[in-house]
Chains A and B, each alone.
Chain A
Amino acid sequence: MTDHPDGAALLDEARRTLLEILLPLLPPERRYDGLMVANAMAIAAREAAQGDAALREAVQQLSALFPAASSGEDPRAHLRELEARLAGEIRAGLCDAPGVRRDAVRDYLRRSVIARARVSNPKALP
């Protein structure tokens, strides 16, 4: 159980307080620091709100590329292991040949990068 407001909602409210109440009080040379704090809070809030959904989706999609891989207990460690295998295959040139596998890898990379950009900077999304 989580008490309410939850972590993401608290960060949102703290950020609003920073931007609307505190930022105007900062001397001009500290304004950039204030904006960086607000940005960090926004990223953390989006990450908290997202939960594990993106992680589970990534594991599922990558498991299809590496069907023989054993599923680990911890999904985060499992994803890391699968991505390390993928990174190694790409570097070794094993995903060069046009075809189904290259398309699947390309599709995975695009989806996972978009999911991470959605957290770190949604404005950068097409």
Chain B
Amino acid sequence: MTIDLAADEAVQERLCRFVAAAAGARRATIGSFAPLRGGAIQENWSVDIELEGGASAGRHALVLRTDAASRVAASHGRAEEFALLTLARAAGVAVPEPLWLCSDPAVIGRAFYLMRRVPGVAAGHRIVKDLSLGGPRDALAERLGRELARIHAVTPETGARLVPDQSFDFLTPASANPGLDRIRLYRRYLDDLGGPHPALEWGLRWLERNSRPSREIVLIHEDFRTGNYLVDGQGLTAILDWEFAAWGDPMSDVGWFCAKCWRFGAVDREAGGIAARAPFYRGYEAASGRRIDPTAVHYGEIAAHVRWAVIALQQAARHLSGAQRSLELALTGRIVPELELEILSLIDAAEGRAA
């Protein structure tokens, strides 16, 4: 069950003591505490905290992020996500400033961290429909391309230099062909879930036969898509949701961003439902000095639909097993056929066949 942090005074008192100590303040007081609508994996709370004394005295608009009751396999915990936010910020990516991490479950019951609250809207269906959000769309797509390039500028070597006092050993070292590692992992997930899922096997087999070793291994966000960034009336304000970040092939993030399943119904705007691919690619190429490889992106889009279908099956299984009863998780299981249909169509296109 979800703990109602907003209603638990003892929890809030412990939270205040933690924040005061972490910020070097004499006292911390909570002004407001309200849930934010987040993903199925974590809970986000909007918290206003007043600090008395110390270098950070004053009022702070924050977000508290903690694990929800259950997690998806392969997602990082909050301590790792805090480290990734620190790394992304050091690399110049627009992210909320990470402030204080608390790994001690005695404070609020689970690990959590606090970051500065960035104004904006993340909901994908709203951003796609409401053109008053995010500023001119080509500029937004181009900016997103540049942000992604900044993420991909981080390598295992530069990452260690950017945040020298932090270990990133929790990021599994990438092999020469991260795509093949993924295929093995997803087959294991499918076997665990029980099946059969012949259309997903069709996709996995195609990915296996067409995989190529990565030319370079960089930090990839792994969930870089509309719905996971914040915009205000002018443009982008932050890139969110770092819990899947990994070392991998840069084109896989490009494919994920452009995949039809993340266009929120605006399927003709192939860059995340907000713009054509051209401005997104332009921003990415200009900032990265790397050429977009359309074949690798197409591969990435097939991999994206396979991955989302496997996660959707896992989310439905969490509901079905009773681990987390939820209509949202249950309905997620029913998006699998449309994902499979797109996998079949993308493979047909790659093989030069009309659907």
Contact = CB atoms under 8 A, between A and B. Distances in A.
A95 B209 CA distance: 12
B74 interface: no
Interface in B156-206: 187, 195-199, 201-202, 204-205
B6 to A, nearest CB: 14
Majority secondary structure, B binding face: helix
A22 B282 CA distance: 47
B36 to A, nearest CB: 11
A96 interface: yes
Contacts of B195: 83-84, 87
5 contacts: A39-B331, A91-B187, A91-B201, A95-B205, A113-B341
B193 to A, nearest CB: 12
A56 interface: no
B344 interface: yes
B196 A106 contact: no
B201 A40 contact: no
Interface residues of A, number: 31
Interface residues of B, number: 26
B331 A36 contact: yes
B355 A90 contact: no
Contacts of A125: 341
A21 interface: no
Interface string B292-334: 0000000000000000000000000000000000011011001
Contacts of A105: 202
B338 A120 contact: yes
